[in-house]
A and B are shown apart, each in its own frame.
Chain A
Amino acid sequence: MNLFRSEEHIARWLAGRSPGATISITKLSELAHAWWSDRLSPDWTPHTREQNMGILERLGLTGEFWRLP
């Protein structure tokens, strides 16, 4: 789960491996804030799979790649 300068840098780094998923850094920031913002709350309880899938779907991260087990 890395940051890259561009698509060209990702393709070169993959060196023939199958690519995963690429999203903008802006989308990544939205995802991280939705996913982690409650992590230090004293009342934290584990997210359910449905809650986490809801975060991904609200951000348009759908399809087999983003399907949680």
Chain B
Amino acid sequence: MDERELRVRASTYRLFVDLGRTPSVAEVANDCDLGTHETMSSWRALHDQHAIVLNPGTAELRMANPFSAVPTAYRVLARARWWYANCAWDAFGICAALGVDGLIETSCPDCCGPLTVTVESERPDDESLLFHCLVPAARWWDDIVFT
């Protein structure tokens, strides 16, 4: 990962958190004082290195992990704002990345019953719940959206 890619990545994450939404390539380009072509090229390189995830065939961000750019089944209230996480792991990851307590809302994929978890001092308040990871680590990035 070269210096420009690190700069574009840092800007992408900072803008995501500051704006509370996914930044456009033009916004990141402006923030980095780069052209949109250069910025897009860096985004593609970051995607290839699994540092961000782009939508296939578009110039749009899908994930700045642990944050999701699109609505998902995992909503997180943290730093007085609602975020979407890519999965249960990333839901806790949003609290971790922001360095704050939070509230996770989702539902059990089996019974569809609501699940609400408060995260305080890095610990969940309901310790009875379980996390299931279907895909082995060696294959997580084969299809990260499915994973």
Smallest CB gap from B129: residue in A: A25
Task: State how many residues of chain A have any CB contact under 8 Å with chain B.
Answer: 43
Query: What is the CA–CA distance of A9 and B113 in the complex, to the nearest angstrom?
Result: 11
Interface: B54 (CB within 8 A): no
Q: Which of A3, A44, A65 contacts B108 (CB 8 A)?
A: A3
B51 interface contact, C-beta 8 A? yes
CB distance B98 to A3 under 8 Å?
no
Chain B residues with Cβ below 8 Å from A23 are: 130-131, 133
The one of A25, A29, A35, A46 in contact with B1, judged by C-beta atoms closer than 8 angstroms, is A46
B88 interfacial by beta-carbon distance below 8 Å:
yes
Query: B93 to chain A: which residues have CB within 8 Å?
Result: 32, 35-36, 39
CB distance from B120 to the nearest CB of A (A): 10
Selected from A19, A22, A26, A42, the residue in CB contact (under 8 A) with B124 is A26
- In the complex, residue of chain A having the shortest beta-carbon distance to the beta carbon of B92: A32
For the complex formed, measure the closest distance between the CB of B124 and the CB atoms of chain A, giving whole angstroms. Answer: 5
- Most chain B C-beta atoms within 10 Å of own C-beta, residue among A25, A26, A33, A42: A25
Question: Which single residue of chain A is at the shortest CB-CB distance from B16?
Answer: A40
| Per-position 1/0 for A30-69, Cβ under 8 A of B | 1111011101101011100000000010000000111111
A26 to B65, CA, bound (A): 20
Query: In whole angstroms, how far apart are the Cα atoms of A46 and B136 in the complex?
Result: 21
B97-A1 in contact (CB<8A)? no
Interface residues of B (CB under 8 A from A): 1, 6, 9-10, 13-14, 17, 49, 51, 65-66, 73, 87-99, 106, 108-111, 113, 115, 117, 119, 122-124, 126-139, 141, 147
Beyond known contacts A5-B110, A6-B128, A23-B130: 14 more, CB 8 A cutoff: A1-B131, A2-B106, A3-B88, A3-B108, A3-B115, A28-B89, A35-B93, A39-B66, A44-B6, A46-B1, A64-B136, A67-B136, A67-B137, A69-B137
